[in-house]
Structure 1
Amino acid sequence: MRLTVPRVALLLVGVVLLAYAFAVAPAAQHGGPTAAPPDRVARAAPDAVVTADAAAVTTIGPAAGLFPPAGKAFFGVMTDKGPYDFTAVDRFAAAAKRQPQVMLFGAGWASATFDRMLFDRIKARGMLPMLGWEPWDYRVDEAARKQKKLTVRQIDRVRSTQPYYRLSRIVNGDFDSYLRSWAEGVKSLGYPVAIRFAHEMNGDWYPWCEKANGNRPGEYVQAWRHVHDLFERAGATNVIWVWSPNARWSKTTGNLADLYPGDDYVDWVGTTGYYGTGTWSDYTSFDAIFGPTIAEIRTFSRRPMVVTETGATDAGGRKAQWIRDTFRALPKHRDVIGLIWFEVDKELDWRIAASPAASKAFADSVAAPRYDVHWSPELLPRTERDE
């Protein structure tokens, strides 16, 4: 066949099409797994890898890219100055001889506006930011504490009585413009953040507790869902929602199920409890403090568990022992994926850095392979518990 210019051109086109059909197209259709975009938090089971584009989230293979990975647990820290000053965090990390993977800090609605810098500073240190988001004016609490003649329960009543922050006002949309400003800000971060909204709601010492401030039964769940749905509508889907009651301190502290928004509205369930104060002033083990609450939560939620605040005092000389006993107990609770230490000297000194014995106990405990965990913005939160 005589080669002419048109025939040569047709031949070249055919070669290009064949190359695409056998090489490029299959690679495009069956490309390797990629992490979900950082502005999207997808629910991921322990045995799944999640890939995502703007349209879909697909489960495609064995475990990878989850925080924390299956069989692992993180530890985190909360300090008095939060991301404004990392001095206490550095001392905590030095005492623990391992970098914490999560940092919890608080913000009250009366004065806190969204500030990207706070989240970015935590992220830059390789820690997942967890915001303790509190619908109240914390300055009322500070003023009450300065009145030396008030008892602890009197202080609780003063700070919990803030009609402006009644749950009904959240449900009715009175704070929606404020909520939207935060939702847009969190969305703009482009990486996952955890929000522990209105914690310890089963008590009576905060304005958002149903037992205080003129609130009514059912309003806490309504308020939670209202806030959650507003964030969803704003496209702030990079939030890990953390529900965190106080650990049961008596048999008459109410039914936690009545305060639970539902697994569709929560990613991690949590609880708060301390050894060395109140009900647990005498030596009390981790299981004695947290066991009943964990067992109760497991009757209505399958979300992973996080101990969102804990600490121990050395008033009885057994702080180091409690730390060691706690970390020995934790592996028995396979669904507990993390613990956040309250590294603050407030009323009592909870800091591990304040005690060589406590520092060593904590460092020895988190040296275990279970806590060899790293966080990065590309990781998806594990939202299904280990069985």
Structure 2
Amino acid sequence: MRITVPRVLGALVLALMIVYTFAWAPNLVDSQAAPEAPGLGGPIPEHQPAPAWVKERAVAAPTEVFPPAGKKFLGIMTAHGSYDLAPLDEFSRAVGRDPSVLQFSVGWADSPFDRRLFDQVAKRGLMPLMAWEPWDFRKESPIEEERGNQPEYALRHIIGGRFDDYITKWAEGVKELGYPVAIRFAHEMNGFWYPWGAQANGNTSEQYIQAWRHVHDIFTRVGADDVTWVWSPNRDYDGSTPVQSLYPGDEYVDWVGLSGYFGTKGVEEYKSFNEIFQPSVRTLRRFTQRPIVITETGAVDFDGRKAEWISEMFRQLPENPDLIGVIWYEARKERQADWRIAVSPAASAAYRTGMGDARYDVKWTLKATPLQAVDKAADPPGTPPSTPPPATTRAPTSTAPPRPTTKPPARTTTKPAGSRTPTATRTARAGAG
């Protein structure tokens, strides 16, 4: 058959479309700038006293374990977090009620303490969970294997005290909030794509443990004790650093987190919630019994199965007594990866139906204390616990020496299956990048 020019051009166009869809587009971030949130524009106030509502609500709030035994909280993470609550509003309208937790990212390079980030969330009745990221997100490399290459943020500098003043100011600010918060410090450390990762910047597993403990100890020293510390690796993948070698110890960790997605590169074939997370949960249970939170998850709809995946997630959650919460990544940061539930009527309906179960009816208060141990013999599915357990006292800070250095495995230069491509943390302050 003679190949004509139109045939050649048609084949070329088709090939380019395929390459764009499956290779280039997933790595392109949404360039839309964050809108400025009410009350967060302009310079940060020099003095940031607690608003009157904090004291009023704290007096009336009951002291309760969060979440109560036998229940699981549902949360979301959005692209701009507490800088822009519009995506939270859209999500809540779509599914019928607010989540219990809002997670937001804060990068160290251009983020002095601002209590309004937490107040915006707490006033809404949601637990503030900050993903605290020691890097300069504005310098993030578009080359995947170089994303973690920021030597100025190598773990040895955190350990050596270069950032102590910064950390101390944040610890003092958190102490003055007047209510509990959660901090997910230096997450997904078992990969290579962040400067604090065990496979980046010449870091070691021992240094990660030392850095975590160093930050934690500064908070303890200033009396910022009302913090739930969330240690949060990525789900296991071929080439990841063994998570046990990165664990700071139960005395430094309240909750353990996991990140994992359906529909990202390498997970185009359907994988259920259990298939994505249960292998990593089993790994975690070999060395810690701390409660586990899915700190990031989501599903795309390129195959029309997003709603199905969500429905199956809610069917499978009761099979996982180790899990106390799930945080959905409600954002579109990559052109071909839209994890948002609110934009899909089918996904919204599936989520709304799932969250209607009584086990997900969880309220956070200004006197909430983090659940510290999972009751494997929790109440039957769909029923609230008969008597909430007493709050578990946080273990004292340990003075045990760091673990021996663990040499990381050979580095892979491809983002693992079931993970989203990391994107810049955006802020909306004047002058922020």
Q: TM above 0.5, one fold? A: yes
Q: Does 1:340 align with 2:327?
A: yes
Check conservation: 1:156, 1:206, Cα contact below 8 A.
Answer: no
Partner of 1:295: 282
Partner of 1:134: 133
Check conservation: 2:199, 2:241, Cα contact below 8 A.
Answer: no
Structure 1 counterpart of 2:150, from 152, 159, 162: 162
1:325-350 C-alpha deviation (Å, 9 max, x unpaired)? 11111111112110101010111110
Spell out the pairing of 1:82-93 with structure 2 (5 A cutoff): 82-93=81-92
Q: CA deviation at 1:288?
A: 1.0
Partner of 1:267: 254
Partner of 2:115: 116
Partner letter of residue 378 of structure 1?
K
Structure 1 counterpart of 2:169, from 171, 181, 192: 181
Q: CA deviation at 1:159?
A: 2.4
Structure 1 counterpart of 2:316, from 304, 329, 354: 329
Partner letter of residue 282 of structure 1?
E
* Percent pairwise identity: 53
* SS of structure 1 residue aligned to 2:260: strand
**Which structure's relative contact order is higher, taking Cα pairs within 8 Å and 6+ residues apart?**
2
Partner letter of residue 92 of structure 1?
F
Alpha-carbon distance between aligned partners in 1 of 2:330 and 2:294, rounded to the nearest angstrom: 14
Spell out the pairing of 1:353-364 with structure 2 (5 A cutoff): 353-364=342-353
* SS of structure 2 residue aligned to 1:257: helix
Q: Does 1:241 align with 2:229?
A: yes
Alpha-carbon distance between aligned partners in 1 of 2:307 and 2:205, rounded to the nearest angstrom: 41
Moved more, 155-164 or 333-342: 155-164
Alpha-carbon distance between aligned partners in 2 of 1:184 and 1:105, rounded to the nearest angstrom: 19
Q: CA deviation at 1:255?
A: 1.5
1:65-94 C-alpha deviation (Å, 9 max, x unpaired)? 111100011000111121121110011111
Alpha-carbon distance between aligned partners in 2 of 1:384 and 1:78, rounded to the nearest angstrom: 24
Which is richer in helix? 1
Partner letter of residue 270 of structure 1?
G
Q: CA deviation at 1:279?
A: 2.7
Check conservation: 1:135, 1:208, Cα contact below 8 A.
Answer: yes
Alpha-carbon distance between aligned partners in 2 of 1:296 and 1:159, rounded to the nearest angstrom: 27
Partner letter of residue 290 of structure 1?
F
Spell out the pairing of 1:1-387 with structure 2 (5 A cutoff): 65-141=64-140, 144-145=141-142, 155-250=143-238, 252-347=239-334, 348-387=337-376
1:178-226 C-alpha deviation (Å, 9 max, x unpaired)? 1000000000001100000000000100000111112123110110000
Alpha-carbon distance between aligned partners in 1 of 2:332 and 2:205, rounded to the nearest angstrom: 35
Check conservation: 1:249, 1:279, Cα contact below 8 A.
Answer: no
Alpha-carbon distance between aligned partners in 1 of 2:97 and 2:282, rounded to the nearest angstrom: 30
Q: CA deviation at 1:116?
A: 0.4
Alpha-carbon distance between aligned partners in 1 of 2:127 and 2:199, rounded to the nearest angstrom: 32
Note the residue ranges of structure 2 that are not aligned, 5 or more in a row: 1-53, 56-61, 377-433
Check conservation: 2:63, 2:369, Cα contact below 8 A.
Answer: no
Q: CA deviation at 1:249?
A: 2.6
Q: CA deviation at 1:263?
A: 0.5
Check conservation: 1:98, 1:366, Cα contact below 8 A.
Answer: no
Alpha-carbon distance between aligned partners in 1 of 2:63 and 2:267, rounded to the nearest angstrom: 40
Partner of 2:37: none
Q: CA deviation at 1:128?
A: 0.4
* SS of structure 2 residue aligned to 1:160: coil
Alpha-carbon distance between aligned partners in 2 of 1:249 and 1:93, rounded to the nearest angstrom: 33
Check conservation: 1:133, 1:197, Cα contact below 8 A.
Answer: yes
Alpha-carbon distance between aligned partners in 2 of 1:177 and 1:253, rounded to the nearest angstrom: 32
Check conservation: 1:156, 1:204, Cα contact below 8 A.
Answer: no
Alpha-carbon distance between aligned partners in 2 of 1:236 and 1:72, rounded to the nearest angstrom: 27
Q: CA deviation at 1:158?
A: 2.7
Which is richer in strand? 1
Alpha-carbon distance between aligned partners in 2 of 1:295 and 1:278, rounded to the nearest angstrom: 24
Over 3 Å off, 4+ runs? none
Check conservation: 1:271, 1:308, Cα contact below 8 A.
Answer: yes
Alpha-carbon distance between aligned partners in 1 of 2:94 and 2:267, rounded to the nearest angstrom: 25
Check conservation: 1:79, 1:343, Cα contact below 8 A.
Answer: yes
Q: What TM-score, normalized by structure 1, do the two folds share? A: 0.79
1:226-250 C-alpha deviation (Å, 9 max, x unpaired)? 0001100010001100000001133
Check conservation: 1:96, 1:362, Cα contact below 8 A.
Answer: yes
Alpha-carbon distance between aligned partners in 1 of 2:209 and 2:289, rounded to the nearest angstrom: 18
| Bigger-Rg structure (1/2) | 1
Alpha-carbon distance between aligned partners in 2 of 1:91 and 1:296, rounded to the nearest angstrom: 36
Check conservation: 2:254, 2:290, Cα contact below 8 A.
Answer: yes
Q: CA deviation at 1:383?
A: 1.0
Q: CA deviation at 1:283?
A: 0.6
Note the residue ranges of structure 1 that are not aligned, 5 or more in a row: 1-37, 40-62, 146-154
Partner of 1:42: none
Partner letter of residue 354 of structure 1?
V
